[in-house]
Structure 1
Amino acid sequence: MDSGAASHPRYRDPYQPIEARVDDLLARMTLEEKVAQLGSVWVFEVAPGGRLSEELAGRRLAHGIGQITRIGGASDADARAIAALANVLQRYLVERTRLGIPAIVHEECCAGLMARGATVFPQIIGLASTWEPRLARAMAARIRRQMRAVGAHQGLAPVLDVARDPRWGRIEETFGEDPYLASVMGIAYVQGLHGDDLREGVVATGKHFVAYGVPEGGLNWAPAHVGRRELLEVFLPPFEAAVREARLRSIMPGYHEIDGVPVSADPELLTGVLREQWGFDGIVVSDYTAIDNLRGYHRVATDKAEAAVQALLAGIDVELPSVDCYGEALLDAVRRGRVPVQAVDEAVRRVLTVKFTLGLFDHPYVDEERAAATFDMPEDRALAREIARRSIVLLKNEGGLLPLPRDIGRLAVIGPAAHSRRLLNGDYHYPAHVDVYRQMVMVPGEQPPFMPPMPPPGADLEQWEAEAYPRHFTPFVTILEGIRARVGPRTQVTHARGCDVTDPSTDGFEAAVRAAREADVAVVVVGHKSGLTRDCTCGEFRDAADLSLPGVQAQLVWEVLRTGTPTVVVLVGGRPVALGDIARTAPAIMAAWIPGEEGGHAVAEVLLGEAEPGGRLPVSIPRKAGQIPVFYGHKPTGGRSQVLGDYVDVEAGPLYPFGHGLTYTTFRYDGLVIVPEAVPADGQVEVACQVTNVGERAGDEVVQLYVRDVQASVTRPVKELKGFVRLHLRPGESREVRFTLDLCQLAFYDRKWRRVVEPGEVEVMIGASSQDIRLTGRFVITGDQIVAERKVFITPVTVT
């Protein structure tokens, strides 16, 4: 520490304004110390085996460091050990470096803190299926508490990409295909992670800026072919909503390019749009290795120094996950005048501002003894179960097969996902992600310092999971276990795995068919294995050209259907499945997505009628991959083949549309009111209707508001979601739903690239899905066209 510490420099005074503290500290820093704040280090690069190495720390942390990467996510440490190591690393930085600047510790937290023992919530595509922002906010708040308890300050979530290609493996991490739904759910997630005060909160990171969810061919990291108007109206809004409504404090650009420019080197997006247009005042962090990708992948930089210059001048403040281009290469570029020191200072100022805002200088340590008590508490598991239950989408229920009676005589539970814990995990859940570290060397010549065990060759996977998970992972409830826990005492439940997710062997078919023939009902649980390794079928790096069930699972379903036993197909996984003729033949189909640790209980509750299916699709499910892209908000000339409509070999529309989901009861919509029927372009419209449960069971309905600009100066989508609310109604109960639609939400970019609201007729549609429209009406925008400076991202809804 420098002698100035004794005089208590201004940056150490907690009563000084943050701006003054940043100014004081920045003025004291050498160039090396400044550049160090723009870098990061993997935890095992300085603490192999979970113990600080003085030698490695002396080399990697001598001038301080901006961020530490994944103390929990890249180790096998439990909560107390994570907190203890965080304290050790912070103490080194505070007490052993000249200026004593603490580090931001970042972790993955897409659907739960990615660390041993932390709660495994349902994957985000399932959270989106709840259509309940309150659950997104509640989940993120639970994640925040767990992260801060172990010394983590930044979460690399949420994914705000609008995803319109289910071939892309990462669709499971998104809120789906619609910009409004992604905006509303994304705002809620950011608010939950931030909390009311960032001194006790976690910085959320919106990713992957921008249009990353529509890659060429559905292939990860591939170019995004989007036009400027589509970029402005579809893909940017969820990010802008999070910045303006939730004050998002971090952005991560994607690996991809748009129109020849890698996003990580695009100042028009990272500075022009983000900072100058939106007023974003947080930090932009690179995706892992993305800066060097400018050299080795995109080939727009000749060396690491040029890659660093391009990224820094574009607007990237911090290089993740480890110092590479933002080390000696950047220092050399500054010294040679290839980048001005002012650009470094601006980035460092943003990094330090976030650190002060988080309270790191005043409270750099955490209570190690209390850390363990914060992981996977009973209320966390209860929330995970609620989200999983409310995420389940009933796609088909022919003849009212569901719900099953609790006292059913014989029930066969079949399929590779029926009794698997691993298949209830998404790609950025801890149990799935540790497979990555097993299969790669993160530091040359050094293996990551952990490992939960792997199943030995030829092991019974279900038996191995039952024994290994309680010791090394968060406890999970499989779907088979959930069913057995809920059926009546006289119900006989048999189980047959049938096949693996990808293995071509059909050796298990005979036992599965026998179990089905002997049962009153068969429940076949099939789907995908999510993760980042080659044995996975969805998740990051795991893109697919075929959307049918992987392996021989479709054959297994057919063999069970041929027995004539009434069959329920339960789909597990993060990618929508094109079921083909199975969708026509199977009497009941349910999408459970990736339901997490309490998924077994949730699925069983819905199957047996203890809970009502209320989830709705956040994506359209195509009939075949050849239809892609399939999304509801297409232009008037899209969505069909001219002039006859369908493809030669298949219908042009989706198998199941956006917003679709059945219930165990029936709802009636009536009494549409639109007030006023004529309104100026800067006004508001009230849209109201009555929704009544006319069935015999209580149930959930998601009331969806869509609009269509009937005629405009540029082509407009046939429908745009502009509001929604989820209701729970008892039999005979009726509620009024009232949407307050601000007309600036109808604004679009005209031929002169002005964001305008034009006069003319607007069609209003209220329904149970994008195709199941129950009520329609119209209003007229009067007067002159206006340029819409104001933006509203959420439509208020009142339920009475």
Structure 2
Amino acid sequence: MNNKLKDPNLAAKVEELLSQMSLEQKIGQMTQPERMACTPEDVKEFHIGSVLSGGGSCPGDNHPGDWVNMNDAYWMASMEADGEHLAIPLLYGVDAIHGNGNVRGATVFPHNIGLGAARDPDLIKRIAQATAKEILATGVDWTFAPTLAVARDIHWGRTYESYSEDPGLVGSYAAPFIDGMQGDMGDDAVVACVKHWVGDGGTTHGIDQGETTVSLEELQSTHIAPYRPAIDQGVLTVMASFNSWNGDKCHGHRQLLTDILKGELGFDGFVISDWDGIDYLSKSYYDAVGMSVNAGIDMFMVSVDWRQLIRHLVTHVEKGTVPLSRIDDAVRRILRVKFAFGLFDKPRPLDRRWSNDTVFGGTETRDVAREAVRKSLVLLKNDQATLPLKRDARILVAGKSAHNRGHQCGGFTIAWQGVEDNDSIEGGCSVWEGIQSVAPNAALSEDPFAGDADPAKHDIAVVVIGERPYAEGMGDVRPGDNVIVEAGSQIRGEMKVLEPYGRTLEHAAAHPEDLAIISAIAAKGIPVVAVLISGRPLPVGPEIAAAQAFVAAWLPGSEGNGVADVLFGDYDFQGRLSFAWPADAASINDSSTAPLFPLGFGLQMNG
């Protein structure tokens, strides 16, 4: 347990600095613009406390050196003191949620749903440590991770960001991740941020940013519970959630942000809004600013119009609609985090220990990611001991995701919605490349229907199928717009609706090409090992029936060789489902229908 936020020696430093600050300097610290809308000159002029990169927003050629140089420029601007400006170091934030995946050449770890299946808290700590080093290699200080959502409806497009539907499993990962990321706040540390506070995984119909209708008791036991160990471990920041709870938006919810999080749970760090998250509190942006800061938001993530935010906050204080004491509390919390993290004592990004280090995308972190892939795979079927594969077998490797590192990595990789090619993911290997490296008689089918499958040439086929990349609301699956109307009618405030991924979770209907290729190969008498790449458990009854063996690989990230390690028996399967596996789309969320595979299910090849 390492909670430097409660160090009494910090309080004097914070109060001394706070006493020197003007209102404009204080509000500047509460402002976090996106990099595309804010220059280093702006950072100095407006006393900006933080800058972030949105998904896919990157400097230069998007390699570590480009990031270090950019962060160095922002940092130096924040540290130029004169008669009008105090030297307060800037925090730079990124969404490094499964490795520092926004940057080319990074090690991309499995998304959280796979890590939940691994059921290995020590692995989570080591993943956080490895990710921290790859973040530090780019000169960055802060990541908006981990997500502690407890996903209750797999229609939700962010299901893969949830470790499990079981709050106990999610909670068991919270402290190890924080410990791995923040450590002793030394040179190896990165500021962590637990998100999204709170109830993001509990929305009706799994609608992203929708309405969570539960009692306070259920909110506490299911959605708040995983945050307690993270706060006890000393996590420095918390991000508010877009969803509403019983009709009221979390970004304007004083009971949740102030009374429970800061009061009951004793959180002493600062609360940051989500991306333009306050905008949906009211049609009046001025009113939204006042509502959110009074509710307990301390720092505001603003994509573009951050100058208007500053103007509105100043006006609120001048009119008395936001008390100066609330501003002081917010800035006190921000400064406390910066002091606790040792930010005032760090050198400029260009001169830091890990900046531009070869640890980025290196063997050390890729080995941890490969181990995570091996441990996350869940074996759902293995008829006639089809697995493990023999290295000298004549193996046909087929399917749209067999040689596609973008599909393996999923959303929040290079771009917000992910990518669908190999070239964008520098380093690592596809599932095909992993198989090819150990099986000399393996061949990759270039035919989307595997017309080249031939029982005279192929002993067995590995067919890699699944979902395409998506992120946030664009991964939602909604049967119709009526569910949006229903949710909207329950929420006091505005609602942002994105185009969904699809209308059904039945995989044979959403992606008929996958069942078609499995069936075509099986019809020729070639046994099929199906490997499913997906961000959630999917109704895949026909696909499982047509295959001799079936593996849930989730979104394994850049190290496809981890899949090959297990398929060929170098390691046995050890993953167990962190979500119950539905029999069909109609039975999802129907407690009277037994799942196809229960929570905790997972076969092994050796008994």
TM-score (norm 2): 0.89
Please state how far the C-alpha of 1:201 moved relative to its aligned partner.
Answer: 1.6
1:526 partner letter: I
Q: Which whole-Å CA distance do the structure 1 matches of 2:8 and 2:466 have between them?
A: 56
Check 1:174–1:533 CA distance in 2 against 1; reply closer, same or farther (3 A cut): closer
Measured at CA, do residues 341 and 534 of structure 1 come closer, stay the same or move farther in structure 2, by a change above 3 Å?
Answer: closer
The CA distance in 1 between the partners of 2:117 and 2:216, in whole Å, is 29
Q: List runs of 5+ in structure 2 lacking aligned partners.
A: 1-6, 479-497
Partner of 2:152: 164
CA gap 1:68/1:383 in 2 versus in 1, 3 angstroms: same
- Higher-Rg structure is 1
> Within 2, Cα distance between the matches of 1:541 and 1:35?
35
User: Does the Cα contact within 8 Å between 1:160 and 1:174 map onto a contact in 2?
Assistant: yes
> Could you tell me how far 1:269 is from its partner in structure 2?
0.8
Q: How does 1:433-582 map to 2 (within 5 A)?
A: 433=417, 465=421, 468-469=423-424, 473-487=425-439, 489=440, 491=441, 493-498=442-447, 508-509=448-449, 511=451, 514-515=453-454, 518-532=457-471, 542-549=500-507, 550-552=510-512, 553-582=514-543
Shift of 1:537: 8.2
Conservation of the 8 A alpha-carbon contact between 2:55 and 2:416: no
Letter paired with 2:260: V
CA shift digits 1:264-314 (9 cap, x unpaired): 111111111111111111110001011111124xxxxxx222111111111
1:315 alignment partner in structure 2: 296
Deviations 1:111-136 (A, max 9, x none): 10132222111111111111101111
Q: CA deviation at 1:258?
A: 1.0
What residue identity is the alignment partner of 1:80? G
State the alpha-carbon separation in 1 of the partners of residues 315 and 455 from structure 2. 69
What does residue range 217-616 of structure 1 map to in structure 2 within 5 Å?
217-244=205-232, 246-296=233-283, 303-322=284-303, 323=306, 326-367=309-350, 370-408=355-393, 410-430=394-414, 433=417, 465=421, 468-469=423-424, 473-487=425-439, 489=440, 491=441, 493-498=442-447, 508-509=448-449, 511=451, 514-515=453-454, 518-532=457-471, 542-549=500-507, 550-552=510-512, 553-599=514-560, 601-616=561-576
Taking a change above 3 Å as real, the CA distance of residues 237 and 579 of structure 1, as seen in their structure-2 partners, is same
1:159-199 residue CA offsets vs partner (Å, 9 max, x unmatched): 10111211111111110100110001122111111112256
Q: Which has the higher contact order (CA 8 A, sep 6+)?
A: 2
d(CA) in 1 for partners of 2:473, 2:366? 30
Which 10-residue stretch deviates more, 394-403 or 532-541?
A: 532-541
> For residue 495 of structure 1, what is the amino acid of its counterpart?
L
- Gaps spanning 5+ residues in structure 1: where? 1-14, 297-302, 436-460, 499-507, 631-638, 641-651, 667-800
SS at match of 2:226: helix
By how many angstroms is 1:596 displaced?
1.1
Q: How far did 1:250 drift?
A: 1.2
Give the 3 Å change call, closer, same or farther, for CA 308–533 of structure 1 in structure 2.
closer
Indicate the SS of the match to 1:565. coil
For residues 156 and 402 of structure 1, the distance between their equivalents in structure 2, rounded to whole angstroms, comes to 39
8 Å Cα contact 1:106/1:152 also seen in 2: yes
Partner of 1:189: 177
Once residues 42 and 218 of structure 1 are traced to their aligned partners in structure 2, the CA distance between those partners, rounded to angstroms, is 28
2:274 counterpart letter in structure 1: D
2:128 is paired with a residue whose SS is: helix
AA aligned to 2:77 is Y
What is the CA–CA distance in structure 2 between the aligned matches of 1:541 and 1:112, rounded to whole Å? 27
Shift of the alpha carbon at 1:535?
9.0
- What's the C-alpha RMSD, in Å, of the aligned pairs? 2.5
- 1:180-239 Cα shifts (integer Å, max 9, x gaps): 100011221111111122564222111111111122222211111222221121111001
- In the alignment, the residues of structure 2 paired with residue 224 and residue 348 of structure 1 have an alpha-carbon distance, to the nearest angstrom, of 30
Q: SS of 2:356's equivalent?
A: helix
**Overall identity of the aligned pairs, in %:** 31
- Map Cα deviations across residues 415-469 of structure 1 (whole Å, 9 max, x no partner): 000111111112122256576xxxxxxxxxxxxxxxxxxxxxxxxx8xxx45x34
Distance 2:45 2:569 in 1: 61
CA contact (8 A) 1:73 1:108 kept: no
In 2, the alpha carbon distance for the partners of 1:541 and 1:286 equals: 23
TM-score computed with the length of structure 1 as normaliser: 0.68
CA contact (8 A) 2:411 2:418 kept: no
2:213 touches 2:247 (CA, 8 Å); kept in 1? Answer: no
Q: CA deviation at 1:45?
A: 2.2
Aligned to 2:604: 663
- In 2: Cα distance, 1:331 partner to 1:274 partner: 26
- Correspondence list, 1:579-728, <5 A: 579-599=540-560, 601-629=561-589, 639-640=591-592, 652-666=593-607
In 2, Cα distance between the equivalents of 1:656 and 1:584?
14
Deviation by residue 1:676-722 (Cα, 9 ceiling, x = unmatched):
xxxxxxxxxxxxxxxxxxxxxxxxxxxxxxxxxxxxxxxxxxxxxxx
C-alpha distance in structure 2 between counterparts of 1:541 and 1:252, whole Å: 24
Distance in 2 of aligned mates of 1:280 and 1:61:
30
Post-superposition CA distance 1:609-656 (Å, at most 9, x none) = 1121111111111112222226xxxxxxxx32xxxxxxxxxxx11111
Cα deviation digits, residues 55-94 of structure 1 (max 9, x gap): xx24x54131121112995214311221122111111111
Q: Which 10-residue stretch deviates more, 37-46 or 609-618?
A: 37-46
Q: Which residue of 2 aligns with 1:20?
A: 12
2:50–2:92 contact (8 Å) kept in structure 1: yes
Alpha-carbon distance between aligned partners in 2 of 1:257 and 1:537, rounded to the nearest angstrom = 17
SS, match of residue 95 in structure 1: coil
Q: Which moved more, 1:559-568 or 1:78-87?
A: 559-568
| Correspondence for 2:3 | none
Are the aligned partners of 2:157 and 2:473 in contact in 1 as well (CA < 8 Å)? no
- In the alignment, is the contact (CA less than 8 A) between 2:165 and 2:578 conserved in 1? yes
- Which amino acid is 1:659 matched to? G
Q: Is the 8 A contact 1:425 1:431 kept in 2?
A: no
Q: Counterparts of 1:380 and 1:477 in 2: how far apart (Å)?
A: 14
CA distance in 2, matches of 1:404, 1:359: 51
Other structure's SS at 1:252 match: strand
**In structure 1, how many angstroms separate the alpha carbons of the residues matched to 2:474 and 2:19?**
52
Indicate how the Cα distance of structure 1 residues 611 and 78 shifts in structure 2: closer, same or farther if over 3 A, else same: same
User: Is the Cα contact below 8 Å between 2:206 and 2:476 reproduced in 1?
Assistant: no
Structure 1: distance between partners of 2:92 and 2:114: 27
Task: Give the letter for the 2:320 counterpart.
Answer: G
Whole-angstrom distance in 2 between the partners of 1:402 and 1:541: 39
Q: How many residues align?
A: 570
Mapped to 2, the partners of 1:570 and 1:385 lie a distance apart of 17
Mark the CA change 1:16 to 1:157 in structure 2 (over 3 Å): closer, same or farther.
closer
Letter in 2 for 1:402: L
